Structure 1
Amino acid sequence: MSQNNAEGTGAGKKHRALVVAPGRGCYNKDELGYLKRHHQDKLAFIDKIDQYRHGIGQRGIAELDAQAKYSFKLHTPGENASALIYACAMADFMDIDTAEYEVVAVTGNSMGWYIALALAGALQPDAAIKLINTMGSMMSDGLIGGQLIYPEMNEAWQTDLTVSRLVDDVINQVNQASGCELFTSIYLGGYRVLAGNEAGMTLAETLLPRIDDKYPMRLYNHGAFHSPLLSDISDKGRAALPESLFNAPRVSLVDGQGKIWSPYSTDTTALYDYTLGKQVIEPYDFSKAIAVAVKEFAPDKIIVLGPGNTLGGPVAQALIQQQWFGWQDKTDFSAAQQAAPRLIAMGHDKQRFLATSHDIETC
């Protein structure tokens, strides 16, 4: 019998779930073998992806996932990371217990938007791997710019407006310097992700105060996503990917501007234009996506797909910003999670069983 409901839903009643797809940077050393550990029952799905990749001269994700050792050189480039993360996340989505959960909306962070399109059915499986693999491979010949991440919250996971203003000031200063470009890339819960050219990133690192001898932190093998520096990538994406790949979603989608794409009213031309236009070259407001999703769809649970659990903190921080579930700070969140988890990370081995039909002993 399933043990995945700590609170109990009652006969015939399902939890309303918001599903969140992760972006780049979540398949790391600890995630090596994720497909093999959790998804041996989905070999046909994995093989379909690998047939596509083999057809364009790329290594299969099954082979990448089965490597004896994790390699930054092999596993972090976009042409490999994107397909791996998509496969892990989609396979996790397939494991959600539909007897316990009604998925009322989906969203994602950055590359997770492409995955969310697939989860919602706006991209069919063949279209999804084509789009994700194509966009993930756009900088295989060399990265355009880079990203760094910086916290703008206090220890209680509450937004520190003083730090937010400081980050904005640094962006302005950098862009006034000759040859330097810097932009907000992602509003990520309690963090700001910045994108820029090398000169801009280097100057920002000198202007932003060091925190815990860790931040500002460069994101390895990440280009200047969600910034004007990728305007050529946007154009190339449009040239490579036809609008016919897109369908109206079966489940409501919330994008990186907080816009809802409904199954009943989605203009697929507008969805295509956003995905390969503004989504590529303008800031991705993940915090706003979470805020809109919980306010509009009132989920009982938020399920964050794997691999990894790097997105769990930013989701919780975005919820704290809205005081959702009554959470005012990190202490409230931690206490609530101990009592009856509202936020379930499928990449976390001790939480995974809460979202699936599998007992904890089999996970």
Structure 2
Amino acid sequence: MKIGILFSGQGAQFTGMGMDFYKESEFFRSQIEKFNSYSERNLPELFQNQHHELEQTRNVQPAIVAMSLALFRLLQQDIQQLEVAGMIGLSLGEYSALLAAGAFETGTGMQLLQARADYMQEDADRVLGAMAAVMKADPQKVAEICRQATTKEQFVGIANYNSPKQLVIGGEKAAVGRAVELLKAAGIKRVIPLKVNGAFHTPLFKETSRKLTENLHNTAVLAWTIPVISNTTGKPFTRVDLKNTLAQQVIKPTHFAEGLNYLCANYQPDLLVELGPGKTLTRFAKQTVTEIPAVSVENWQQYQQLIAQMK
């Protein structure tokens, strides 16, 4: 059985995520402890979220990637002949995918990720941004309304093309507010504000992009064999374009549906498996590639069911 791996993005986190794996699996626990040695954060403390750590971008990003990567490596250990057709992550999840595929040495990749999280936190703190999900709307119509709501000082635009049924707009809070009112006036009824602390994948993160460009310049990229599809280009990352694509990723829209269609059309997975917190990508997959079954694995029970299915 060939599987396509989907890696969770920011926003999927929840209190206690990963802790059942941490308690039940010695191997998973050893991976988290290894990642801890590369991180400025205490990962089990972040998972437990007792002091609302997961409300901060600088904490959420290493926590999600650590859980997702440890879960992938656990799956590799438990299914010795694991056949992975390809991988795709949503935004942050691309770092989980690239680490899982071997594009970065683990310590290098985790340190790069932590730098990205810190840069993004700084940008989010500097400008008051907002995002809103737009359901069942024509992308061209949404883009035109965003242009109407944008001024010289305040931007709003499409930030995420998630599935045929969902777009996300983002930008300065006031501009997003104007766009939401215009969307509703145009008859688009389901527009849902998102609980985020920044307008990700918009020009508001241009300083993050600049800093990532500098950081990536001296970051070693390794050869890898499992295809990892970029949200930015809709095509597989290559060693030639990886650094530029990752730097551009934070200021350009994500195209998860396009990338998932490419993965399924070109690598023919029999099953799509979302690894990490949440079920969001499983839902997007069911809306996008209806002919391929998709399951999410965010807890120990679901993991045991997957193992039984694959053996």
Correspondent of 1:228 among 177, 181, 203: 203
Tell me the percent identity: 22
Task: Kindly provide the amino acid, as one letter, of the partner of residue 271 in structure 2.
Answer: K
In structure 1, C-alpha distance between the alignment counterparts of 2:69 and 2:167, rounded to whole Å: 27
Q: TM-score, normalised by structure 2?
A: 0.87
Post-superposition offset of 1:286: 0.4
Correspondent of 2:37 among 40, 45, 51: 51
Post-superposition offset of 1:349: 5.8
> Structure 2: 5+ residue runs without aligned partners?
none
> In terms of mean alpha carbon deviation, does 288-297 or 192-201 score higher?
192-201
Correspondent of 1:247 among 222, 225, 243: 222
Q: TM-score, normalised by structure 1?
A: 0.75
Correspondent of 2:45 among 63, 67, 85: 63
Q: Residue 241 of structure 1: SS of its match in structure 2?
A: helix
Match of 2:106 in 1: 125
Superposition map of 1:28-47 within 5 A? 28-29=14-15, 31=17, 33-37=19-23, 39-47=25-33
Post-superposition offset of 1:205: 2.7
TM-superposition CA deviations, 1:174-218 (whole Å, max 9, x none): 12x453211211111121111201221221232232999973212
Post-superposition offset of 1:346: 0.7
In structure 2, C-alpha distance between the alignment counterparts of 1:343 and 1:99, rounded to whole Å: 21
Q: Residue 187 of structure 1: SS of its match in structure 2?
A: strand
In structure 2, C-alpha distance between the alignment counterparts of 1:95 and 1:45, rounded to whole Å: 9
Over 3 Å counting, the alpha-carbon distance change for 1:78 and 1:297 in structure 2 is same
Match of 2:193 in 1: 217
Task: Kindly provide the amino acid, as one letter, of the partner of residue 178 in structure 2.
Answer: L
Post-superposition offset of 1:24: 0.1
- Aligned-pair Cα RMSD in Å: 2.8
Larger Rg: 1
Aligned length: 304
Normalized per residue, which structure has more helix? 2
Task: Kindly provide the amino acid, as one letter, of the partner of residue 78 in structure 1.
Answer: T
Task: Kindly provide the amino acid, as one letter, of the partner of residue 10 in structure 2.
Answer: R
Match of 2:133 in 1: 150
Superposition map of 1:16-27 within 5 A? 16-27=2-13
In structure 1, C-alpha distance between the alignment counterparts of 2:202 and 2:123, rounded to whole Å: 17
> Structure 1: 5+ residue runs without aligned partners?
1-14, 154-159, 326-341
Post-superposition offset of 1:231: 1.6
Match of 2:148 in 1: 173
In the alignment, structure 1 residue 281 sits paired with structure 2 residue 232: no
In structure 2, C-alpha distance between the alignment counterparts of 1:226 and 1:346, rounded to whole Å: 26
Task: Kindly provide the amino acid, as one letter, of the partner of residue 28 in structure 1.
Answer: F
Over 3 Å counting, the alpha-carbon distance change for 1:289 and 1:196 in structure 2 is same
In structure 1, C-alpha distance between the alignment counterparts of 2:152 and 2:213, rounded to whole Å: 31
TM-superposition CA deviations, 1:43-82 (whole Å, max 9, x none): 332123222334xxxx311222245x4x5x4112111101
